[in-house]
Amino acid sequence: MQRFHLLSTWLTLGMGIKRWLVLLVAGVVLVAVGITQSVLNILGLHLIANLSTFAEIFIDALTIALGFMLIILSVVKFSRNILAPYRRNQQGHVADAVYAHRTRQKGLKVVAIGGGTGLPSVLRGLKPFTSNITAVVTVADDGGSSGRLRRELGVLPPGDLRNNIAALADDESLMTQLFQYRFGAGDLSGHAFGNLFISALAGVTGSIESALIETERVLNIQGRVLPATLEDVHLSANVRIAGKTRPLNIVGESKITDAGGKIEQLSLTPPNVQAYSESVQAILDAGLVVIGPGSLFTSILPNLLVKGIAEALRASNAYIVYVCNVATQEGETDGFTVAEHVMALERHVGRGIVQAVLANNAYPKLNAGTNTTYVQPVPEHHEILQRYEIRYADLTDNDHPWRHDPQKLVAAILKMSQQERAGASQPKEFFTES
């Protein structure tokens, strides 16, 4: 019954389907007749008597050519009508869209780990090259809209998940803009629409995993976004405050940077939260893993401290790159050089996690403002130079030089990855453009 209903729907008047099917059949018949007639003429069995050889060849060729023209026209028109409902927001020609889609599907499998505003820079730069992108995102946020939803609804904080889903979506899409819209007044003041959307979907579908899948489908993103863990986890830190004899233990991601001290040790509460299995598998399957950029102590390390993430990184055959921040962050990395960022990683998760470090070596004054302090290079003869491949490049955004430019950043990462795969031997500091 259902098949009959579908058939009758396809044959409904005005669908723009039947005429092109009839034309397609006519074209196939003409090609078949032309080929058959040619074979019979070769065998001496002439269907039309008293015709010259030239006339026979001309008629056969004309019949076949006309048939192919009808087939091509019908296929083009048929395809256009079939695809019309799906092309409402499609820019450019279908062929270009299909080619770009297939190219991205065959792209390198990349996992990007982090959170905050840094990780979306990597994702925006990567999505033109591959759709095999997995973002593994921290879920320790307890401030702002995410913190309110976490406390009131008992959901995983959706803010970082939302930002990275939006980064993998079409920036020009109205749905993406709606997803990032933040209410400015009333009871919803401060909430991003996307946070409410994900939280509501988690309630409807029964899990954050299903909510993310449906959200990604709605925005038609290039890749996927996964939480580092599905467990309710909080961030704790021992922070040394000036004038205090002993470091203070501060619980809560939003409170750590506000303390205004030096973060000595970071941990998760509870301490043995397990990594989300899909995130672990993505790391094991990846050809390239990018850690950062982002807040070192509140966006990057909360992922690496989840039990199973660091272990997967050590077991993975992927080329793993740590992207150091362009500028220091007040309350987290004041005065840090590239080396101190890497040493903080080692202090918390040990060695053997990354193979290479990518850092910025351009320090523009234009648009930098008065509060930007650029992260300085690894000091000469520092011990990490013996353990890691250190690469430098101009990674700064022209308008906001304390941030990474997505195109510059991904160009540098892909160049490193390509050279690694090719086994090229390059000097450790071959990116020296300013």
Convert the pLDDT of each residue in 406-427 to its tens digit.
Answer: 999 999 999 999 999 887 444 4
- According to the model, what pLDDT value does residue 235 have? 94
- According to the model, what pLDDT value does residue 232 have? 93
212 pLDDT tier (thresholds 50, 70, 90): very high
- According to the model, what pLDDT value does residue 92 have? 52
> What sign does the dihedral 309-315-320-323 (CA atoms) show?
positive
Is the model's pLDDT at 356 over the cut of 60? yes
CB 363 within 8 A of CB 392: no
Greater model confidence, 84 or 306: 306
- According to the model, what pLDDT value does residue 307 have? 97
- The set of residues, in sequence order, having a beta carbon less than 8 Å from that of 117 and lying 6+ positions away, is 163, 294, 403
Spatial separation of the C-alpha atoms in residues 62 and 12, rounded to whole Å: 34
Mean pLDDT of 310-314: 96
- According to the model, what pLDDT value does residue 336 have? 96
Look at 55-69, 219-233, 315-329 and tell me which has the smallest mean pLDDT.
55-69
- According to the model, what pLDDT value does residue 10 have? 56
Encode pLDDT of 217-256 as tens digits: 889 888 999 999 999 999 999 999 887 888 899 998 889 8
Greater model confidence, 49 or 395: 395
8 pLDDT tier (thresholds 50, 70, 90): low
Is the model's pLDDT at 297 over the cut of 90? yes
Mean pLDDT of 161-175: 89
> What sign does the dihedral 351-355-361-362 (CA atoms) show?
negative
Is the model's pLDDT at 59 over the cut of 50? yes
- According to the model, what pLDDT value does residue 9 have? 61
Across the chain, mean pLDDT equals: 86
- According to the model, what pLDDT value does residue 267 have? 95
- According to the model, what pLDDT value does residue 4 have? 61
Encode pLDDT of 95-141 as tens digits: 544 544 455 556 799 999 998 889 999 999 999 999 899 999 999 99
Nearest to 289 by CA among 354, 223, 224, 347: 354
- According to the model, what pLDDT value does residue 432 have? 42
Superfamily of domain 101-422: CofD-like domains (3.40.50.10680)
φ/ψ of 75, rounded to 5, equals -65, -45
430 pLDDT tier (thresholds 50, 70, 90): very low
Encode pLDDT of 76-94 as tens digits: 887 777 766 555 555 555 5
For the chain, how big is the Rg over CA atoms in Å? 29
- According to the model, what pLDDT value does residue 74 have? 84
Spatial separation of the C-alpha atoms in residues 32 and 64, rounded to whole Å: 8
φ/ψ of 238, rounded to 5, equals -90, 115
Instruction: Give this prediction's pTM.
Output: 0.78
| Percentage of the chain lying above the pLDDT 70 cut | 85
Question: For residue 135, what are its two tokens?
Answer: 């973002």
